Amino acid sequence: MRSEDSDFVLLQEIDSITQGVRAKIDEQPRVGLVLGSGLGAVADAIESPIRIPTEELNGWPRSTVEGHAGKLVFGKLEGQSVCVVQGRVHFYEGHSMSRLAVPVRVLQRLGADVLIVTNAAGGVNQNFEPGDVMLITDHINFPGMAGHSPLLGPNLDQLGPRFPDMSQAYDRELQEIAREVAAALGIELREGVYFCLAGPTFETPAELRFLQANGADAVGMSTAPEVTVARHGGMRVLGFSGISNITSLNGDRAASHEEVLETGSTIAPKLVRLIKGVIARL
Ligand code: HPA
């Protein structure tokens, strides 16, 4: 139920959206995947896919950005039941943090206990190169720190605690599996801290230097809210950033969404192999 003067999504609405999904599909996914800009191709690797356009789901946040087709794709990947959220939504599109976490809540209610998140990100770490894949070891949720947590509002006690622990937001065991899979596949895996900003502007050079001084290896406009909600609901999380561009700390190079989508197409095949390798070992 949407309340009159806020957009805190309550359990009743989450369960009604989940019912809408169940009416179309029998699968109970074990793993949920949320795909970032230009990385939607990961869904093409799914066997016997069943697609639900998310516009058919009342209350599902609408994606308005190029590169984010709004679909839920159910099927098998390496023998595991998965559900891919193709077309994530962002805070800058005008959704409340609570609403943009709806896809993760629905995955939880469908029974998924592992969440794999991917995003396109700018490399703040100047040793990175465009096309790299970074294993997210931790994040800084800047909008959350500034009062825009997706957990703001009434706590959904049935799903998780009022004050959730975030000491290991990214599951250590899953990280270790990802490292081993990358090594076995000969994929060089970078590692680091993902800094979430609200966007939609790319950063000024001064902002980038601020991020670098505060421990960021990559910067983007998503992921941290979804991971926060996933942890609140007790899911184990694995995250990868596709490094689409290296940010310019002195303003010599401009950033563009076209570049993000372009590099995404070279990163996607690597991510597919990595994610398949990890899922095969769950
Ligand atoms: N900054 C913020 N978000 C991004 C970037 C960037 O440079 N590249 C891809 N997403």
Q: DSSP H helical segments within the chain, as ranges?
A: 11-22, 97-100, 102-110, 142-145, 172-185, 205-213, 224-232, 257-280
Residue 279 in contact with ligand 1 by CB distance below 6 A: no
Residue 247 in contact with ligand 1 by CB distance below 6 A: yes
> Structure pTM?
0.94
* Active-site choice (96, 119, 141, 245): 245
Q: Is the peptide bond before 53 cis (omega within 30 degrees of 0)?
A: no
Distance 272 CA to ligand 1 centre (A): 21
Distance 121 CA to ligand 1 centre (A): 5
120 is known as an active-site residue:
yes
Residue 195 contacts residue 257 (beta carbons within 8 Å):
no
221 is known as an active-site residue:
yes
The low-confidence residues of the chain, meaning pLDDT below 50, are 1-5
CA–CA dist 125, 222 (Å, integer): 18
Substitution candidate for ligand 1 out of 209, 247, 253 with most atoms within 8 A of CB? 247
Residue 221 in contact with ligand 1 by CB distance below 6 A: yes
245 is known as an active-site residue:
yes
Substitution candidate for ligand 1 out of 202, 203, 207, 246 with most atoms within 8 A of CB? 202
Residue 243 in contact with ligand 1 by CB distance below 6 A: no
Residue 187 contacts residue 274 (beta carbons within 8 Å):
yes
Structure confidence at residue 227 (pLDDT): 98
CA–CA dist 246, 79 (Å, integer): 36
| Angle, vertex CA 97, rays to CA 122 and CA 77, nearest 5 | 65
Which ligand 1 atom sits nearest the alpha carbon of residue 123? 7
Its CATH architecture, for the domain 11-280, is: 3-Layer(aba) Sandwich (3.40)
pLDDT digits (tens, 9 = 90+) for 67-86: 556 889 999 999 999 999 98
